[in-house]
Amino acid sequence: MEKSTLYGVGIFVLIILGGLFFIKGGQTNGSVVANPIDGQVIQGQLQKIVLSQEGFNYKDAGAKAGKPISISADSSVRGCLRSVAFNINGQKYVKYLKTPEESLELPALSRGSYTFSCSMGMGYGKLIVE
């Protein structure tokens, strides 16, 4: 086989795998977080956190311990940062937040600092649970 044919097949395989990654990424159960350190509590149970972008990373977010979290992204979040990846106790939460209405649910968390990233690992943020 010629080198150009091998390169062509390699590029084709990468395109297919990349497409599958983005399709599957939007369907997995996932979570992420961001924005005001004084997370807003809705109906006394669910905290709504809005993810924002600052430069190439997410702005730090805050939430209260012991209450589940609903995460969305505002219009400042662009590119791969719309696909958020969060790892909590070995459980990975990933979701592509296409519109501000879409959200990702996280379980109630204990106090601490939780790091998250975009699905490509290029942009990072921190959720501070108090």
Give the fold, CATH level 3, of 3-129: Immunoglobulin-like (2.60.40)
Q: How many CA atoms lie within 13 A of 50 on its CB side?
A: 10
Mean pLDDT of the chain: 79
pLDDT (tens digit per residue) in 104-126: 999 999 999 999 999 999 999 99
Q: Is the pTM of this model over 0.85?
A: no
Name which residue leads in pLDDT, 10 or 130.
130
Over 50: is that where the pLDDT of 88 sits? yes
Q: Is the separation of the CB atoms in 116 and 95 below 8 Å? A: no
pLDDT at 30: 38
Cα 19 to Cα 14: distance, rounded to the nearest angstrom: 8
Burial pattern 29-56, b for ≥16 Cβ within 10 A else e, equals ebbbbbbeeebeeeeeeebebbbbbeee
Per-residue pLDDT band for 69 (boundaries 50, 70, 90) equals very high
